[in-house]
């Protein structure tokens, strides 16, 4: 039986992970669950799954959770803060760590899980976006396993040769085709985009996701981050990755080979499929997902993304090509801008404007250590707030 820590158990990935695991109680045991402030939901999860540890990043939430669990789950030890996250990511009897904390907050525990040689089920884009080489080196040096859980990267993983670390040319791979839904504003007239609200941006047509990643889908920054992530995961450069808008979200990504073959992974848009694949690899287990009926789908569409509509795609590609801490700076600026938009203090179209201004004005450095990365991350966040203040003036 495999012991599992779920970092971010109250988010959509975490909830779906627990759903898959509950179908295979003979194979997996939840050792630890973590959340930021949602002590109500994690209380329910603790009662059902009886982990050894529950971690709340927020200390007040941890105190509330401890009180709530006294009667119904008294054996659960409640921890708090980043130190609590790091502890449960490296527990000796934990085999797999689901890294599903959204944003830069997930970097440290995910990196520690890799240092501890765990199987890291990576649903957190930022770990690779912020610290790509450092993270990949850590995985290799500590003989950790890294399996992508993003539906697109998981699809690519399934379509790639077994040992893709040798590089594209030797393997006969020509190109990765990274699919994107296009989000809720795919066909919205450009002149109307500035007036789009957080509620509209979070109304994704295909996926049920958290608010931050939903906005990233609306700007297509999520796809830009995924381009960066794919470069690190599959040892390639941006020129070998093509983004394709596929509104139905049935083909999750494709890999093109030199002989003209194009391999694709298809399935209903349900995150339990890649989660189950990551848990059971190299085997496969039931995920509780509805079967794909091609006759119901009937039609698959593909559209080239318009970078005038989606400037964040260009910004992400340029940051990856610039190298160093540029991707961390991009990510930090995006997190600040999206947060301000969600609180209705920034227009939708100003998200990309803020990111571009930060990239132009915050000096990037060689990403030689975690300290350098985190320093530039902070500098980018500070400059983003100044930029937003100037826009509001």
Tens digit of each residue's pLDDT (9 = 90 or more) over 316-356: 999 999 999 999 999 999 999 999 999 999 999 999 999 99
Residue 125 pLDDT exceeds 90:
no
Q: pLDDT band at 307, cuts 50/70/90?
A: very high
pLDDT per residue as tens digits for the range 309-321: 999 999 999 999 9
pLDDT, tens only, 69-122: 998 999 999 999 999 999 999 999 999 999 999 877 899 999 999 999 999 999
Tens-place pLDDT, residues 3-34: 999 999 999 999 999 999 999 999 999 999 99
**The pLDDT value given to residue 50:** 97
Interval 254-263 mean pLDDT: 97
Give the rounded percent of residues in the chain with a pLDDT score beyond 70: 99
Q: For residues 219 and 291, give the distance between their C-alpha atoms in angstroms, rounded to a whole number.
A: 30
Mean pLDDT of the chain: 95
Q: Is 117 exposed, middle or buried (0-12, 13-18, 19+ CB in 10 A)?
A: middle
pLDDT tens readout for residues 260-285: 999 999 999 999 999 999 999 999 99
Residue-level length of the chain? 393
The answer to whether 146 and 118 have CB atoms below 8 angstroms apart is: no
User: Given CA atoms 218, 220, 223, 224 in this order, what sign does their dihedral have?
Assistant: negative
Predicted local distance difference test score (pLDDT) of residue 336: 97
Instruction: Name the residue with higher pLDDT: 209 or 302.
Output: 302
Is the peptide bond preceding residue 282 cis, with omega within 30 degrees of 0? yes
Residue 199 neighbours by CB under 8 Å, 6+ apart: none
- Per-residue model confidence (pLDDT) at position 210: 80
Structural domains of the chain, ranges and CATH numbers in brackets? 2-149 (3.40.50.720), 156-297 (no CATH), 323-392 (1.10.1740.10)
Spatial distance between the Cα atoms of 274 and 17, rounded to a whole number of angstroms? 10
Task: Please state the rounded mean pLDDT for residues 54-64.
Answer: 96
What CA–CA distance (Å, rounded) separates 197 from 313? 21
Residue 298 zone, left/alpha/beta (φ > 0; ψ -120 to 50; rest): left
The SS3 assignment for 2 reads strand
**CA–CA separation, 152 and 129 (whole Å):** 16
Is the pTM of the predicted complex or chain greater than 0.75?
A: yes
Q: Does 393 score more than 80 pLDDT?
A: no
Strand ranges for the chain from DSSP E: 2-7, 28-35, 53-56, 77-80, 96-99, 119-122, 145-148, 173-180, 241-245, 251-257, 262-266
Convert the pLDDT of each residue in 150-194 to its tens digit. 999 999 999 998 877 777 778 899 999 999 999 999 999 999 999
Please report the pLDDT score of residue 18 as a whole number: 98
Read off the pLDDT of residues 127-160 as tens digits, 9 standing for 90 and up.
Answer: 899 999 999 999 999 999 999 999 999 999 999 9
């Amino acid at each position: 039986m495999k012991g599992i820590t779920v970092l971010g158990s109250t988010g959509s990935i975490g909830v779906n992970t627990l759903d898959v695991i509950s179908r295979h109680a003979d194979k997996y045991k939840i050792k630890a669950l973590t959340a930021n402030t949602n002590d109500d939901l994690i209380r329910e999860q603790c009662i059902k799954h009886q982990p050894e540890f529950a971690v709340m990043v927020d200390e007040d939430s941890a105190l509330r959770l401890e009180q709530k669990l006294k009667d119904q789950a008294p054996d659960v030890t409640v921890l708090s803060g980043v130190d609590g996250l790091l502890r449960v990511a490296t527990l000796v009897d934990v085999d797999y760590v689901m890294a599903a904390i959204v944003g830069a907050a997930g970097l440290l525990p995910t990196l520690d899980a890799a240092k501890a040689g765990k199987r890291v089920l990576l649903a957190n884009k930022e770990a690779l976006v912020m610290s790509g080489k450092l993270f990949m080196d850590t995985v290799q040096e500590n003989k950790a396993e890294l399996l992508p859980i993003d539906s697109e990267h998981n699809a690519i993983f399934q379509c790639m040769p077994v040992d893709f670390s040798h590089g594209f040319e030797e393997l006969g791979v020509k190109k990765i085709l990274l699919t994107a839904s296009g989000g809720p504003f795919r066909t919205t007239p450009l002149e109307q985009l500035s007036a789009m609200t957080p509620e509209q941006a979070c109304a994704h047509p295909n996926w049920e996701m958290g608010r931050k990643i939903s906005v990233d889908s609306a700007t297509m920054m999520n796809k830009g981050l995924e381009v960066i992530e794919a470069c690190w995961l599959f040892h390639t450069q941006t020129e070998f990755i093509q983004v394709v808008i596929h509104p139905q979200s049935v083909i999750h990504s494709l890999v093109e080979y030199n002989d003209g073959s194009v391999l694709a992974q298809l399935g209903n848009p349900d995150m339990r499929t890649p989660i189950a694949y990551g848990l059971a690899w190299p085997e496969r287990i039931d995920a509780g997902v509805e079967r794909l009926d091609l006759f119901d789908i009937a039609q698959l569409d593909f559209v080239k993304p318009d970078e005038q509509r989606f400037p964040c795609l260009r910004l992400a590609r340029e940051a990856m090509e610039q190298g160093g801490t540029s991707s961390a700076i991009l990510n930090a600026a995006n997190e600040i801008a999206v947060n301000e938009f969600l609180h209705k203090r920034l227009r939708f179209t100003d998200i990309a404007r803020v990111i571009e201004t930060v990239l132009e004005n915050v000096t990037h450095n060689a990403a030689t250590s975690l300290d350098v990365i985190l320093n530039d991350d902070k500098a980018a966040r500070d400059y983003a707030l100044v930029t937003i203040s100037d826009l509001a003036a």
